[in-house]
Amino acid sequence: MDELILAIDQGTTSTRAMAFELSDGRLRPQAVSQIELAQHFPASGWVEHDAAEIWTAVLQTCREVVRKAGGVDRFAAVGITNQRETAVAWDVATGQPLHRAIVWQDRRTADVAARLAAEGHEPVVQSATGLILDPYFSATKYAWLLDAVPGARERAERGEVKLGTIESWLVWKLTGGERHVTDATNAARTSLMDLAGLQWRDDLCELFRVPRTALPAIVGSSGEMGRCDPALFGLPLPITGSAGDQQAALVGHGALRAGEAKITYGTGAFLVANVGGQPVASRSRLLGTLGYSLDEKPAPGKIAYALEGSIFSAGSAIQWLRDGPKLISESRQSEAMAQSLTDNGGVYLVPAFTGLGAPWWDPEARGTITGLTRDSGPAHFVRAALESLAYQTRDLLDALTADGAPPLTTLKVDGGVTANAFAMQFVADICGLPVERPAFQEMTALGAARLAALGVGLIDNLEVSVAEAPAVWTPSMSEDRRRTLHQGWRRAVEAAIIAAKQSG
């Protein structure tokens, strides 16, 4: 029986393949293989990956998983999820990358983004794509690649050089160079796609100097986007699902309705809130994006738009407690220490180690502690660090509300920090929402598998059915208390912002 899905999870630090088996309407993980990915830092603020190394790792991990799961004939389809925005340019004739891939974190095109903003282009870009002008997104990276490699721009105009994000590169390689496509969730992160119509915009291609001919065709996140070259695994497995990592996680969590959101609490934290069938324009500088689109064209019931916001320091605040002031020796000790106090004693920590993200957007802000007294001890620092996750989450949710997004009903969580029950209860309390953590945590791979299972017809909708009940934290704090604590936090954030202005 061919009922397995091969999910490729190509992340920033590693490449993984997982086999999921469908039984009783549920996708269960069967086998996994993982290879670390080398990071290259050729200059300050520059981050590169070797796209050829990524491809080799995909092939190797997939072959291992196919073998572990009992052979290729057990598989029905392939799904892909990937680090978003990372830009690849490759030679059509040789199938080789022209240059190392420019990774999403890379800031080398910051001056281009700043110049476009200074020239007043941001409102057009934002209203068309949902995105602010920032080097984070693929467009300025594509232009850089075409300018940096001699002759690349002319060759791209002639169709001899292709551009794409990681999933596009992988589909090209998996199909033996047959298909040059990108799924709409990845295309939504380039700054070149019209978010409402899911099509490349000629004016934006011109503005960012990216030749339209070099861009992949935009397809939906589910449905056949090509077939694997039979030489790779022995069978022409169809590739039937693809979504960027945060979007795949949204699907993995089953946050399929407007008002459902997921937040991944890792080193940083990433919120994606499903806003329903129409895009919502953000006034709070959240990013407008796609949750998923099952079809190539926006179709009612088959598309979900989203707003996205990120917190720069989440788990990294806990790492700091461990590695900086050494108040804990392991992350998990933070829970008992925070719980040793009945409250925060008026102490707040704003973990703006690398500036503040949405909705503050202050790159100059730095970490700040307020409210210290002679009674403050190590536990206050630890508790304040954990509480800061909840306050920062609340600020994102307030931004969603200000943008007119549908009110949230639940917050689905994953990531390393969710092991901390104190932090999760505090998030529920400060946000006034139930917080749900699924028993199975690989939401990204699961989302890709689910899209692929739908695309190949193994399942007929994306609804989640889970074997083990999720852990749920329900809010139990009074509204008064919530307001007082949040006000204390807002004062601490103001202090951080004012201090940055005075020292800058």
| 359 cis-preceded (ω within 30 degrees of 0) | yes
Cα angle 16-247-2, degrees, rounded to a multiple of 5? 55
Please say which residue, 258 or 390, places its beta carbon nearer to ligand ADP.
390
- Least distance to ligand ADP, CB of residue 385, Å: 9
- Least distance to ligand ADP, CB of residue 81, Å: 14
Please say which residue, 359 or 415, places its beta carbon nearer to ligand ADP.
415
DSSP class of residue 353 equals: B
Q: What is the rounded distance in angstroms from the CA atom of residue 185 to the CA atom of residue 293?
A: 8
Please say which residue, 83 or 190, places its beta carbon nearer to ligand ADP.
83
Please say which residue, 318 or 458, places its beta carbon nearer to ligand ADP.
318
Question: What is the distance of C-alpha 157 from the center of its chain?
Answer: 31
Give the burial string for 86-121 (b: 16+ CB within 10 Å, else e).
Answer: bbbbbebeeeebbbbbbbbbbebbeebbeebeeeeb
Please say which residue, 89 or 389, places its beta carbon nearer to ligand ADP.
389
Please say which residue, 247 or 334, places its beta carbon nearer to ligand ADP.
334
Footprint of ligand ADP (CB under 6 A) = 266-267, 315-316, 318-319, 331-332, 334-335, 415-417, 419-420
- Least distance to ligand ADP, CB of residue 310, Å: 12
C-alpha closest to that of 495 among 361, 383, 349: 349
Q: What is the rounded distance in angstroms from the CA atom of residue 165 to the CA atom of residue 156?
A: 16
Q: What is the rounded distance in angstroms from the CA atom of residue 10 to the CA atom of residue 243?
A: 11
Q: Which residue has the tokens 């999933």?
A: 167
Which residues partner with 33 through β-bridges? 17
- What are the distances in angstroms from CA 469 to CA 366, 415, 466? 40, 17, 7
Please say which residue, 282 or 316, places its beta carbon nearer to ligand ADP.
316
Please say which residue, 21 or 335, places its beta carbon nearer to ligand ADP.
335
* Backbone dihedral region for residue 371 (phi beyond 0: left; psi -120 to 50: alpha; all else: beta): left
Please say which residue, 218 or 417, places its beta carbon nearer to ligand ADP.
417
Cα angle 354-360-363, degrees, rounded to a multiple of 5? 30
- What are the distances in angstroms from CA 293 to CA 110, 164, 188, 306? 30, 19, 11, 11
- Least distance to ligand ADP, CB of residue 321, Å: 9
Please say which residue, 247 or 282, places its beta carbon nearer to ligand ADP.
247
E strand residue ranges, 37-175: 48-49, 75-82, 87-91, 101-102, 161-165
- Least distance to ligand ADP, CB of residue 271, Å: 14
Q: What is the rounded distance in angstroms from the CA atom of residue 78 to the CA atom of residue 171?
A: 10
Please say which residue, 117 or 419, places its beta carbon nearer to ligand ADP.
419
373 three-state secondary structure: coil
Contact 424, 437 (CB under 8 A): yes
Q: What is the rounded distance in angstroms from the CA atom of residue 153 to the CA atom of residue 148?
A: 9
Which residues partner with 193 through β-bridges? 200
CB neighbours of 110 closer than 8 A, spacing ≥ 6?
45, 135
- Least distance to ligand ADP, CB of residue 265, Å: 7
- Least distance to ligand ADP, CB of residue 54, Å: 18
Please say which residue, 281 or 421, places its beta carbon nearer to ligand ADP.
421
Phi, psi for residue 420 in degrees, rounded to 5: -90, 105
- Least distance to ligand ADP, CB of residue 266, Å: 3
